[in-house]
Chains A and B, each alone.
Chain A
Amino acid sequence: NSKVIQTPRYLVKGQGQKAKMRCIPEKGHPVVFWYQQNKNNEFKFLINFQNQEVLQQIDMTEKRFSAECPSNSPCSLEIQSSEAGDSALYLCASSLSTGYTEVFFGKGTRLTVV
């Protein structure tokens, strides 16, 4: 069973508001991912970290989205100014490495932008 902890489970924000969600990766996992799953079940990779360093991120993340994984603190994903199209399930995942290791997902934060 996955031990990736995501909070909150549900988040409701108005358009233009900030939305912040957190993730505690599985203990000992230095690699963390954020994905967005929309209502059509499409997964969009947002960003991944190894320890505190960004490995890869997409353009969307570079603009309205910000993310960090500080040492000894939960990782976080924040949307600076929420838009209706941001409504989705945000999934955090962690892994022992970028190699031949399993990737485990948390239960997600369901964001609704009204």
Chain B
Amino acid sequence: GEQVEQRPPHLSVREGDSAVITCTYTDPNSYYFFWYKQEPGASLQLLMKVFSSTEINEGQGFTVLLNKKDKRLSLNLTAAHPGDSAAYFCAVRANTGKLTFGHGTILRVHP
């Protein structure tokens, strides 16, 4: 089945710096890709979605890149702030619509 590898598992950056999280997946039939944010004790908040190989800027300080040829998905926080500190998960959708998640990245943004 689908396997999703997410890197890095932990990321610490200074406020204003960029932070990049990358996922690679194996199933070429995967067709829809998500990024979720999870704050401590909370559920998953849908951050961004993408289905074509294109750069998308949602205007909230995030950029998503999808490269279907390389089966790679990335999330770029362009100017991180302390409120971005959370766990981030990529998720890949295929087959019966189920999501396969990466193992997460714990992001810490310090002043």
Q: A residues engaging B (CB < 8 A)?
A: 2, 31, 33, 35, 40-43, 45, 48, 55-56, 91, 93, 95, 97-100, 102-108
Contacts and interface: CB of A to CB of B under 8 A. Distances in A.
User: Which of B36, B46, B51 is the most central at the interface, judged by chain A CB atoms within 10 Å of its CB?
Assistant: B46
B96 interface: yes
Contacts of A35: 99, 101
A97 B97 contact: yes
Interface SS majority for chain B: strand
B73 interface: no
Interface stretch (B19-27, B62-70, B76-84, B87-95): B87-95
Contacts of B95: 56
Interface residues of B, number: 24
B74 to A, nearest CB: 19
B49 to A, nearest CB: 6
A56 B98 contact: yes
Closest 3 CB pairs of A and B: A98-B97, A43-B101, A41-B104
A33 B101 CA distance: 13
Contacts of B44: 91, 93, 105
Interface in B27-49: 31-32, 34, 36, 42-46, 49
B43 A103 contact: no
B32 A48 contact: no
B34 A103 contact: yes
